[in-house]
Amino acid sequence: MITHDQSTMPGYFYRFITSNESPGIVIVPQYLSISEGVDDLILIWSASDIDDWKNQIVYLPL
C-alpha cells in the first residue's frame, strides 16, 4: 500500500499486523515530488524482494 497519510496509517497498521500479515506500506509525504517518489519506488521494487517489506512501514524519501 502507498499512502500520504502519515498521521493515522502507522497506528492502524501496527494494530492490524498484531493479528494479520501485510506486504507492508510505503508512506510518501505530500512535499515529495512525484518524480522523487517514483524513483524511490522503482529502487525498492528493483533492489528487494516482497518478503523484505512484510509487515514493515517504509517512509520516503529513502
**DSSP string computed for the chain:** -EES-TTTHHHHHHHHTTTS----EEE--TTS-HHHHHHHHHHHHHH--GGGGTT-EEES--
pTM score, whole prediction: 0.86
Query: Are 54 and 17 within 8 A, CB to CB?
Result: no
Q: What pLDDT is attached to residue 30?
A: 94
**Distance of alpha carbon 38 from alpha carbon 62, whole angstroms:** 11
**Distance of alpha carbon 61 from alpha carbon 33, whole angstroms:** 10
**Model pLDDT for residues 2-46, shown as the tens digit of each residue:** 999 999 999 999 999 999 999 999 999 999 999 999 999 999 999
Q: What pLDDT is attached to residue 18?
A: 96
